[in-house]
Structure 1
Amino acid sequence: MADNVDLFDTAKAHAADTEFFIRRGMTKGYQLLSLLTPPLYTAFANSRYGRSHLSVNRLLRATWVGGASGMVGGGAFEYVRSAYSDPQNVRKRRIKAAYDTDSIRADDHSTIGAILLAVFTPALFWKRANAVNLILGGAGIGSAVGLLSHYGRSISGDAPPPVIPRPEVTHE
């Protein structure tokens, strides 16, 4: 019975909640910058160098580097936000995030898109780009496409995810 006391240690629970939010922040950062990087890079390359500078390899490289930057930035932001916050507030945020079915559904669509385009992009552009850029850039573009498809389905009137009642957090 004494071993179970460690399960309810506030410091361990706060560390687990912080780890959850770091992973979630990394996921959301990757999704956001994978969505924003291709159009921003295209506009930048066209305005700065003209159409001759834009290539499939460079666009795919910019996409995965942007996604990786978003992942690092999102994880760092959530670490600072969660590690130095009140453990009870972090616990409430975690419970709210765990029951947010719209966010979970967006993550699922993004993951499915990333996996599909990580496979299809090398098949389509094999001779036009480096293999690493094809796979990682394809995953970034797929993540963005999956996220856009989720929001498109939500806007078009797809059935919203069911609302799951959250349990109340009691402070003892």
Structure 2
Amino acid sequence: MSDNFAVSATAQAHAADIEFMVRRGMAKGYQVMSLLAPPLYATFALSRYGRAQFSINRLLRATWVGGSAGIVGGGAFEYVRSAYSKADHVRARRIRAAYDTSSIRADDHSTIGGILFAVLTPAILWKRASTVNLILGGAGIGSAVGLLAHHGRTVTGDPPPIVQLPDIPTSTVSA
């Protein structure tokens, strides 16, 4: 009975680790694609169609669509990576991710920027784009600005503190 419980507990812990890593991959995918989508779209649209076809509405739409693609891509990549890895390797990666203060600070800055710009962008650009594109695109641009603020703080001499990792067990169940 106890062997079955240990195997079940290990499977549940592995599933929880996979879920954590997939959520983290989705967040990182959104941040990166929200950072890359606006300049890529602007470059593409201006070089292909010229200034006459470039608009704020299309730029904001490209930002949130790119962020959505980042969510899907980041989550799928992390699921495949974690689901087909050994449980102890996924557990070690989760513990490292949970104690990575730089990543946590980047997530915090990105969230704050996303919320702030989701409110400010419609207030500033009210007549220039549709409401959905203003809110979602503003959140994407804010997420990118928050990510850039995190990296700017790190470069200018305000790095996040380094936390000592606890001992990571190599195996949770002995066979």
Residue in structure 1 matched with residue 107 of structure 2 by the alignment: 107
In structure 2, the CA distance between the partners of 1:90 and 1:117, relative to structure 1 (3 Å rule), is same
Residue in structure 2 matched with residue 54 of structure 1 by the alignment: 54
Residue in structure 2 matched with residue 163 of structure 1 by the alignment: 162
Residue in structure 1 matched with residue 43 of structure 2 by the alignment: 43
Counterpart residue type for residue 25 of structure 1? G
Q: What CA deviation, in whole Å up to 9, does each residue of 1:30-83 have, x standing for no partner?
A: 000100000010000001000011101000000000000011000000000001
Deviation at 1:100, TM superposition (A): 0.3
Q: Secondary structure at the match of 1:161?
A: coil
Q: What CA deviation, in whole Å up to 9, does each residue of 1:91-138 have, x standing for no partner?
A: 000000000000000000000000000000000011110000000000
User: What are the residue-to-residue correspondences of 1:20-39 with 2, within 5 Å?
Assistant: 20-39=20-39
Structure 1 residue runs of 5 or longer lacking an equivalent are none
Cα distance in 2 for residues equivalent to 1:45 and 1:154:
33
Percent sequence identity is 69
Deviation at 1:163, TM superposition (A): 1.7
8 A contact 2:37–2:63 mirrored in 1: yes
Residue in structure 2 matched with residue 135 of structure 1 by the alignment: 135
Cα distance in 1 for residues equivalent to 2:134 and 2:166:
44
Deviation at 1:169, TM superposition (A): 2.1
TM-score, with structure 1 as normaliser: 0.94
> How many correspondences in the alignment?
168
Runs of 4+ with >3 A deviation? 5-8
Cα distance in 2 for residues equivalent to 1:157 and 1:88:
35
User: What are the residue-to-residue correspondences of 1:72-87 with 2, within 5 Å?
Assistant: 72-87=72-87
Deviation at 1:7, TM superposition (A): 10
Q: Secondary structure at the match of 2:104?
A: helix
Alignment RMSD (CA, Å): 1.5
Higher mean C-alpha displacement, 160-169 vs 83-92: 160-169
Deviation at 1:8, TM superposition (A): 7.2
Deviation at 1:86, TM superposition (A): 0.3
Structure 2 residue runs of 5 or longer lacking an equivalent are none
